[in-house]
Every structure is written in C-alpha cells, then in structure tokens.
Amino acid sequence: MSENSNENSELIQLLLDKCDHLYQENQRLKSKLSPEIDIDVIKADYEQRISTQQDRIVSLESTVAYLRRRIWGKSSERFVNEDPRQRRLDFDGLDLLPQEQELAEKAEREIQNFRERRTRERLKEKPVRKPLPETLPRIEEHVYPTSDDFTNPADWTELEPEVTEVLEFEPGKCYVRRIVRHKYVLKNKELEVNSPVVTAKTPSKYQPLSRSYAGVTLLAELMINKYVNHLPFYRQIQMLKQVGMNLPPPTVNGWFKDTADLLRPLYYRLKELVLLTDYIQVDETTLPVVHEEKHKTVKGYIWLVRSVMQPLQFFHYDGGSRAQKVVLPLLEGFRGALQTDGYEVYKMYEHKKGVLPLGCWAHARRKFEEALKEDKARAEYALGQIGLLYELEREADRQNLSHDERADLRERLAYPILVAFEKWLVKEYPNVLPKGRIGRAIKYTYEIYHRLTRYHLDGRYRLDNNLAENSIRTLALGRKNYLFCGNHDAAEDAAVMYSLLGCCKAAEVNFRDWMVNTISHIHDYDNDYSKDLAELLPHNYKKNSKKL
C-alpha cells in the first residue's frame, strides 16, 4: 500500500508542477499585453482579415478561370442547354402570381417548339456550291482527248462537251495616265482677250489632290487596302515595289492626310444624317495613339454611332477621351431611342427629354457566360431565359414579320419571361457573393433591367447593340495590323475613312467603285451649293447606280 501511495503522490506532484508552469507562462504572456489592448477587438480584426482574404481568394480564382477560358477556351457566347426538354421555370419562393407563372411557362413551351422546328429544318438543308457570277469575264481553253484510240477525229462523233469553271486571279498593275493639255496662242493680236495663250485645265477627276501625281485609282487602292483589308501603308509600299513603283513613306502619309481632308465635308454631312434618325446604337473602343509630348503610345478611345434603320454610321474621335464631356456634344440634339451597353456615362440620358435609352442583352448574357465555371446552376438558368428571348427573335426573322407583328409577338411571349426573370434576379442576389462573377452578373443585369426590357415597345428595336459592335470589329482588326496612330490628327483622319468605308459595307456597295466615283466628283460640289453632298454617300450611290 505504501508503494502505491508514493506513486500517487509523485503523480499528483508532477501534475501540480505542470499546472503551475502553465499558470506562470500565462501570466507572463498577459504581462506583455498593454492594458489598452482588447483581446476581443484583436479577435474580431483577425476574423475580418480571414474573411477578406477568403473573398480575395475567390475573386482571384474567378479571374484565373476567366483568363484561362479566354486564352484556351471557347469564345462563343451562345448558350445551348445540353437537354432543352429538361429546362423548366422554377418559381419556388418567388413572389410570382399564378397567372404570371402560367403565362411564362406557356411562352417557354411555345418558344421551345420554335427551336425544335427550326432545328429539324436546318438538318434537312444540304450545302450547295453556288455557280460563279456570270458578270466575270471568261477565257475559254479547249482541251481534246489524248487517248491512243483517239487518233483520227473523223472516226468520232462529238457529243456535248463537259465544262469546268475555275476561278483565277491576276495581281493589279500600275500604269501612267498621260494627260495632254493642249495650248493655243492668239493669231490676231488686235483682239481684246484676257490672255493671248489658253491652256486646257486638268479635269479634277484626274488630279483630285492639288500638286500631286496620285491618281484617283491609286488613292482608292491605298485607302481601301488599309481601312478595309487592314494592310498598313509600309506593307503596301513594299507591294508596289514589286510592280515597279517606289513610293516614299512621307509621300504616302501626305496623300492619306489630304484624302481625309478632301472627304471631311462628306463626313460632317454623314454625322448630321445619322443624328437626325430616331434610333441609333452607340459604342466605343480603344485606339492606341502616340502621345507627342510623352513620346509613347497611350490608350485612346474612338466612338461609333450607328443608325439602325439606315446603312449609316460614323466614328468620332475627340482627343482619345471616353469621358462624359465627349458624349454630350456628340449626341447633342438627338431625339429617339439610344441603345448602348451598361457604361455609366449613358445613365444621364434616363432623365433627358426625348431620349429613350435601351440596353444590350448580349452584354448581360456575356456576364452570365463568364460565371458558368463559378455557379453553373444559376448561370445556366439565366442563360436559358435569355436564350428564349433570342430564339423568339429568330422565329420572327424566319417568319419575316413586320415591325408591328414582331412587337405583338414580343408582348405575347417575351414579356411574361421578362417578368419572371426579373423576380428571379431579385430573389437570387441575396444568396450569392456580391463580388463573385454570378453576383456581378445579376447586379449588372438588374441595374439596367428597365433598359433591357424596353425593346418590346417597338418592333424596330433590337435585343442588343451587336450591329454597332460588328461595325467596330473592322477597326479592331486594323488596329492589330497597324498597331497605333501617329498622333491625334491621324486618329481623326482614320475616323473619317472608317466612317465612309463602313457605310459602304453597311449598304453592300463595292468599296473601290464608290471611292473612285466619290473622289472623282467631290470637287463638283465645291462651288455649287444647290447640290447636297449626301448624294455621294454609299446608299445614295447605290440607288443612283441602279437607275443608270
């Protein structure tokens, strides 16, 4: 018993020593703390830091996933559900009236029928190679059999030959137009005349630029190759060397500036006509410009204003700024529907009399498409609802509906979906991370939802401003080739060229034919103020060409 008692005493003493050591260590640590320090405050600050870091980690993971998708993934924004028949509207917990739910479900079923029928029709179609245009010149080459049996053609009766057409191309050639201006001298010295020697004037259509040997066709070729085919001037100079013409780069740059100045009055007239329409789309994009004082390239912005109902558009450059001070004078006096993305500058037009701001569903769809990796369920649902709206527009296009008929179809089928989708946005936003991609997508869509839903008011209005974005794509392609503009003046001159040649594309007019005709005849309007420069714009040129 005595041995057990000794062991217990030693164990108890060991535990007491350990407790005493822990107590002393605790007291030592407390003594290092200042009396003013509140442990609860330190704990709360620590927890807040952890929460902030977690949000930061989520944001960075989302950014990395987005960049990976942009670099290596698919860039298409069209969303097609894996199984359309499984899609349904889930209104659990939504403050949605039974009648609204019934209308939305009925609209979705009808739109799904449109999609399935269109899919079946597309599967039946087979690609057919189109014949070569009859307007192209043709050179015939006759080929005869070379078989050993075909030694005496007289022994054979010829059948209808088989014809194969092959499209060929011959590079352009430079040539010189010699303009011989005849001179005459007065024989009878007694006659009173202004000058005893008269010389024929050079027609302006042969020499559009003063004191320049650049012909109309050469100027047209240079401008079209750069602003349509995206070939910088230095590449074109190298190409011209191959056909025997060596042009100094400063000379070509001077021709570009003079040509832009020549067409600038027509550009100003184009701006007037676009802003007189009652439905336009506005967008902006970057345009690198060399800053003369900083001696480096800076990011500038160029604006596009596109008339939806007419093939008219213009680019506007104002010192490379994207600020509100550019928009106000740019759209001064405009009255009608203004369709844009969600850029903050356009919010001011919500309160401007006579202007109806419209939103862009393509931008909203893009936000949800970016959120697919983060929250697939919510993103798929949102993309599915937006897809129904686009499917309805495709059906209206297939049926070739008038504007009034399209508006009625939207009111019957699109409006119930818009109502249900808005309530889904309100319900889901509190359940997602505000700084996450799905949170930003929901917030972006809801903040401009009043603009997004106004398209149903008029059959002319479009779901998105893709018309403007497609027009800007030409500039984006050119920007990748010539990289930057030399200065602000060169950027303004580029805006002139992009505007007029963009109208050619919108009106489906041959670029070269229009450019040659316009440069040849624009001096006809110098002194005759009864003529309207608008006659030279591509859509009017197309009308006049059909009359001839």
| CA separation for the pair 416, 409 (Å, rounded) | 11
- Contact present, 299 and 288 (Cβ < 8 Å): yes
What number of CA atoms fall less than 13 Å from residue 292's CA on the CB side? Answer: 6
CA separation, residue 385 to residues 79, 119, 452, 494 (Å): 10, 19, 13, 40
Length of the chain: 548
CA separation, residue 439 to residues 362, 414, 426, 503 (Å): 18, 24, 11, 39
DSSP bridge partners of 199: 183
Strands (E), 322-366: 336-339, 355-358
Tell which residue, 487, 409, 420, has the closest CA to residue 449.
420
pLDDT for the residue numbered 307: 95
Strands (E), 126-247: 183-185, 197-199
Q: Which two tokens stand for residue 19?
A: 């407790």
- Contact present, 342 and 444 (Cβ < 8 Å): yes
- Contact present, 242 and 174 (Cβ < 8 Å): no
- Contact present, 424 and 104 (Cβ < 8 Å): no
What number of CA atoms fall less than 13 Å from residue 536's CA on the CB side? Answer: 25
What are the two backbone dihedrals, phi and then psi, of residue 192, each rounded to the nearest 5 degrees? -90, 115
- Contact present, 415 and 456 (Cβ < 8 Å): yes
Residue 388 CB coordination number (10 Å): 23
Residue 231 CB coordination number (10 Å): 18
pTM confidence score: 0.75
Tell which residue, 140, 207, 132, 216, has the closest CA to residue 167.
132
Under DSSP, the state recorded for 411 is I
Residues 6 or more apart whose CB falls under 8 angstroms from that of 522 comprise 208, 262, 263, 265, 266, 533, 536
pLDDT for the residue numbered 86: 39
Q: Which residue has the tokens 């950027």?
A: 491
- Contact present, 365 and 307 (Cβ < 8 Å): no
SS3 content of the chain, % helix, strand, coil (to 5): 55, 10, 35
How far from each other are the two terminal CA atoms of the chain, in whole angstroms? Answer: 130
**One-letter amino acid identity for 137?**
P
Residues 6 or more apart whose CB falls under 8 angstroms from that of 288 comprise 297, 298, 299, 300, 479, 483, 484, 485
DSSP letter string over 94-123?
----HHHHHHHHHHHHHHHHHHHHHHHHHH
pLDDT for the residue numbered 150: 67
| CA separation for the pair 154, 483 (Å, rounded) | 67
Sign of torsion over alpha carbons 407, 411, 412, 416: positive
Tell which residue, 388, 377, 448, has the closest CA to residue 416.
388
Q: What is the CA radius of gyration of the chain?
A: 36
The residue ranges of the chain whose pLDDT is under 70 are 1-7, 30-39, 66, 68-106, 119-130, 132, 148-151, 155, 167-171, 547-548
Q: Which residue has the tokens 């006509």?
A: 273
Q: Give all strands of the β-sheet with 296-307 in edge-to-edge order.
A: 313-316, 296-307, 279-291, 336-339, 355-358
Distance, CA of 2 to chain centre: 96
pLDDT for the residue numbered 121: 64
Domain assignments of the chain as residue spans, ordered by start? 277-474
Angle at which helices 216-227 and 233-241 cross, to 10°: 130
* H helix runs in 294-414, sequence order: 324-330, 361-370, 376-399, 403-409
Query: SS3 for 391?
Result: helix
Tell which residue, 451, 459, 357, has the closest CA to residue 400.
459
What number of CA atoms fall less than 13 Å from residue 144's CA on the CB side? Answer: 8
Tell which residue, 303, 309, 259, has the closest CA to residue 283.
303
pLDDT in tens, 121-169: 666 555 566 676 787 788 888 877 777 666 677 767 777 887 877 766 5
